[in-house]
Amino acid sequence: MRINCPLCGHRDIREFYYLGAEDYLVRPAEGDLEATHEYLHVRKNPDGLTKDVWQHEAGCRAWLLVERNTATHEVLTVELIKPKKDILL
Amino acid sequence: MRYNAFNIFKEGLTGNKGWRPAWREPEPKPEYDMIIIGGGGHGLATAYYLAKNHGLKNIAVLEKGHIGSGNIGRNTTIVRANYFLPGNSEFYSHSLKLWETLETELNYNVMHSQRGVINLFHSDGQRDTFARRGNMMINQGDDAELLTKEAVREELPYLDFDNGRFPIYGGLFHKRGGTARHDAVAWGYARAADQLGVDLIQKCEVTGIDVLGGVVKGVQTSRGPIRAKKVGIVVAGRSSQVAEMAGLKVPIESHVLQAFVTEGLKPAIDHVVTFGMGHFYISQSDKGGLVFGGDLDSYASYAQRGNLPMMEHVMEAGMALMPAIGKAKVLRSWGGIVDMTPDGSFIIDKTEIENLYMDCGWCYGGFKAVPASGWCMAHLMAEDQPHEVAKRHTFERFKTGCGIMDEEGTGSQHNLH
Ligand SMILES: Cc1cc2nc3c(=O)[nH]c(=O)nc-3n(C[C@H](O)[C@H](O)[C@H](O)COP(=O)(O)OP(=O)(O)OC[C@H]3O[C@@H](n4cnc5c(N)ncnc54)[C@H](O)[C@@H]3O)c2cc1C
Ligand SMILES: [Zn+2]
């Protein structure tokens, strides 16, 4: 697997850290226990197309939203995630 | 037909013409009392104990492929009871006791071999942690022995003891740990369940779960609809897909775990050896192949194959631990879909839908759990109450944060186990 980092180009997967599903990009309101549980634990976990959050840890260290296929390991699109106050990156 | 020495002898003298298929191939009936979705180790064991321990008759296991085609036939076969936390301790202890009588119980040779598991440690701090784990194992009633470096050297003379990065300080020896023949466990439970009247229905993929007014009514399958009073979802890596058929979302992320086997060699490695610091473990199969593996690739995957960086990492760790294995040639490598929970421990619980139960979240360690998981899932489905040794393994613990069983102490998050 290689990921096409928008800043560094095609790089080997060993340079990247996997955080998890894109659910991490929508932080629940503080005190909302049900939503916090969903955010932290409950996953759609699709067999096929998915979007998940990676960091180009051993490269430019940018956080990336990667669209890929979990059944084939094909990587489709990669976008930069803009840092926002309300997401935990 | 019972399997025994006399029958082998008799068949040997009469051209082996008397052997019969180990189980029937029945057509699905229109309705069952209990349907188990998934004919892996856990599903087959659940069906067996429903019939054996609870006296139930009208049971079916629905398997989309053939018996043994999932992770039950893809794992590295290690069986142990060296867990640390309440919840896991008593459950795996129960499981190991069931393993110790499994062959007589099933009348099937599952090749359970208690060759001993040695977990190596490499610092004073790690020794303390392992001593503490060993004490927990002893408190649970299982066996553990702390070995000095010299004692490890006597058992495992082929290790590189003075490795620059991870010199070996000693090991935690769990003598009752070992291995078993994975396929035989599936076949043994399948045959024994069939003999108690369980219908094993292969090439029968569940495609829908019928729910009416919050109560499960049956399933839709590639071989037509089947009604059921109770349904158990026991599909390991496919838990999210099957749960979704009932409108449920579960705290599971499916990852890929790889394993490797070399050409057959003369007996060289007598135990199961784990090198946690390098994420590497190894044993030798009865055919002679060195069977080894490491950590997850660490991204969600259903590909049933991994990527090269993890292969390279596992080979490097193996070479660091026992340089002699560099001479062996790797024959095969493969991957399986493992159902990871946030805390790395499993779930055997009811769902929000009445009469629908789930047994899932086995992560990379569900082979050793097969007997106790079947035992406890059968108890839950038959009695509608959790079994004593599995009562902590709920869905609820993630929501409340109370009773999280994070053996590694890394945090309750999918990518950390
Ligand atoms: C490489 C590797 C090494 C491992 N090593 C060890 C080890 O050393 N020790 C240990 O304790 N554990 C180990 N494990 C973990 C262990 O193999 C699993 O936790 C365990 O086998 C999972 O339970 P199971 O046997 O029921 O799963 P499976 O055999 O995967 O059974 C699930 C079944 O459900 C069926 N199914 C799925 N969807 C449907 C559907 N819609 N309809 C009908 N049927 C369906 C599948 O076809 C499959 O047969 C390892 C796993 C892997 C991948
Ligand atoms: Zn980059």
Q: Evaluate if residue A83 carries a pLDDT over 90.
A: no
Q: pLDDT (tens digit, 9 = 90+) per residue, B87-129? A: 999 999 999 999 999 999 999 999 999 999 999 999 999 999 9
Please give, rounded to a whole number of angstroms, the shortest distance from the CA of B243 to a CA of chain A: 10
Please give, rounded to a whole number of angstroms, the shortest distance from the CA of B1 to a CA of chain A: 42
Distance CA B275, CA A60 (A): 32
Tell me whether residues B240 and A70 touch, CB distance under 8 A: no
Helix (H) or strand (E) holding B18: none
Amino acid at A25: L
CA B176, B181, B187, B191 torsion-angle sign: negative
Q: pLDDT (tens digit, 9 = 90+) per residue, A19-64? A: 999 999 988 998 999 999 999 999 999 999 999 999 999 999 999 9
Give mean pLDDT, residues B198-225: 98
**Residue B270 backbone phi and psi in degrees, to 5:** -85, -25
Residue A86: per-residue pLDDT: 61
Residue B12: per-residue pLDDT: 96
What value, to the nearest 5°, has the Cα angle with vertex B70 and ends B286 and B86? 80
Give ipTM to 2 decimals.
0.95
Instruction: Let me know: does A57 contact A15? Beta carbons within 8 Å.
Output: yes
Distance CA B164, CA B375 (A): 46
Task: Identify the residue whose C-alpha is closest to ligand 1 atom 32.
Answer: B235
Whether B4 contacts chain A with CB within 8 A: no
Q: Evaluate if residue A88 carries a pLDDT over 70.
A: no
Residue A89: per-residue pLDDT: 60
Q: Evaluate if residue A87 carries a pLDDT over 70.
A: no
Tell me whether residues B342 and A18 touch, CB distance under 8 A: no
Task: List the one residue out of B360, B237, B374, B369 whose CA is nearest residue B296.
Answer: B237
- Cα of A79 vs centre of ligand 1, distance in Å, is 34
**Domains annotated on chain A, with CATH:** 2-84 (3.30.2270.10)
Distance CA A38, CA B93 (A): 32
